[in-house]
């Protein structure tokens, strides 16, 4: 049994009692070739309610199942999904059915990956979208997304080496988002759009620490 734990904190607060934003713990093990894990997360120091993720996977079967739930006075399942992978004519194909019990919305994601090109189709009763991701060269990847609702976006990921990257996502009439990953630091910059004008800027920075 492997155990992990940690917390997310805001270093800007002056009240030490409210310093932890999230406290989490995770236990994982293997049973008959299946990897099994359970993760619980509490908001701040309120331990009356926890968000719980239950995962099981089998690499040989290329199959995984995830259950998102909440636990407190009772146990409530919120979301269920499974991912099944397979090889078809040199391409890797995954089928990902999902069901949200809170909203009673079901959809399925079918992904296709071959020779540096990834295609992802998402379909539900009310909406369909297609995302095409292409590795242009060793440093650049472009990903346009089109939805049946008329929404479009374009993502450009630029590799900076050593696992670092800068990702720009443009959503016309909505926002421009930048994500910069650098040696454990992640900076997110969100700029809402009002027509062709930038309406403001929101910045968040976080750092991953290992103990």
Q: So what's the pLDDT on residue 196?
A: 75
Q: Which of these, 52, 46, 47, lies nearest to 71 by C-alpha position?
A: 52
* 84 shares its domain with 172: no
- Is 56 a member of any domain? yes
Q: So what's the pLDDT on residue 211?
A: 57
C-alpha radius of gyration, the chain, whole number: 20
- Is 116 a member of any domain? no
Q: So what's the pLDDT on residue 11?
A: 58
Q: Which of these, 13, 9, 81, 1, lies nearest to 37 by C-alpha position?
A: 1
Domain count, the chain: 2
* 78 shares its domain with 159: no
Residues in the chain: 211
Determine whether 70 is exposed, middle or buried from the number of CB atoms within 10 Å of its CB (0-12, 13-18, 19+): middle
Which of 101, 129, 162 marks a domain boundary? Answer: 101
- Is 74 a member of any domain? yes
Q: So what's the pLDDT on residue 199?
A: 79
* 149 shares its domain with 95: no
C-alpha to C-alpha distance for 80 and 56, rounded to whole angstroms: 12
Residue 158's contacts (CB-CB under 8 Å, 6 or more residues apart) are: 139, 140, 165, 166, 167, 168
- Is 168 a member of any domain? yes
* 96 shares its domain with 150: no
* 86 shares its domain with 32: yes
Threshold 0.75, pTM exceeds: no
* 159 shares its domain with 91: no
- Is 165 a member of any domain? yes
Which of 101, 119, 145 marks a domain boundary? Answer: 101
* 62 shares its domain with 14: yes
Q: So what's the pLDDT on residue 198?
A: 82
Tell me the three state secondary structure of residue 16. helix
* 71 shares its domain with 146: no
- Is 128 a member of any domain? no
Q: So what's the pLDDT on residue 209?
A: 67
* 1 shares its domain with 97: yes
Q: So what's the pLDDT on residue 142?
A: 97
Which of 101, 126, 150 marks a domain boundary? Answer: 101
C-alpha to C-alpha distance for 79 and 124, rounded to whole angstroms: 15
- Is 123 a member of any domain? no
* 61 shares its domain with 156: no
Per-residue pLDDT in tens (0 to 9) along the chain, 211 residues: 899 998 877 655 555 555 667 889 999 999 999 999 999 999 877 788 899 999 999 999 999 999 999 998 889 999 999 999 999 989 999 999 999 999 999 999 999 999 989 999 999 988 999 999 999 999 999 999 999 999 999 999 999 998 899 999 999 989 999 999 998 899 999 999 887 788 789 998 988 766 5
- Is 112 a member of any domain? no
* 198 shares its domain with 150: yes
* 2 shares its domain with 94: yes
Half-sphere exposure of 5 (CA within 13 A, CB side): 4
Q: Which structural domain range is residue 67 located in?
A: 1-101
Q: So what's the pLDDT on residue 126?
A: 87
Beta bridge partners of 36: 29, 56
């Amino acid at each position: 049994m492997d155990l992990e734990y940690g917390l997310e904190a805001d270093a800007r607060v002056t009240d030490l009692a409210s310093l932890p934003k999230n406290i989490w713990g995770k236990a994982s093990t293997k049973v008959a070739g299946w990897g099994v894990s359970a993760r619980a997360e509490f908001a701040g120091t309120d331990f009356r309610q926890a968000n719980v993720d239950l995962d099981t996977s089998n690499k040989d079967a290329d199959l995984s199942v995830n259950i998102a739930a909440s636990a407190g006075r009772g146990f409530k399942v919120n979301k269920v999904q499974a991912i099944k992978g397979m090889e078809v004519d040199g391409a890797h194909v995954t089928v990902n059915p999902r069901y949200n019990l809170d909203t009673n919305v079901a959809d399925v994601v079918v992904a296709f990956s071959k020779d540096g090109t990834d295609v992802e189709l998402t379909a539900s009763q009310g909406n369909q979208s297609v995302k095409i991701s292409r590795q242009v060269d060793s440093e650049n990847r472009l990903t346009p997304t089109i939805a049946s609702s008329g929404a479009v976006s374009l993502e450009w990921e630029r590799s900076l080496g050593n696992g670092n990257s800068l990702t720009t996502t443009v959503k016309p009439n909505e926002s421009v988002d930048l994500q910069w990953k650098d040696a454990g630091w992640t900076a997110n910059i969100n700029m809402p759009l009002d027509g062709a004008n930038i309406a403001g800027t929101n910045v968040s920075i976080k750092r991953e620490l290992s103990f």
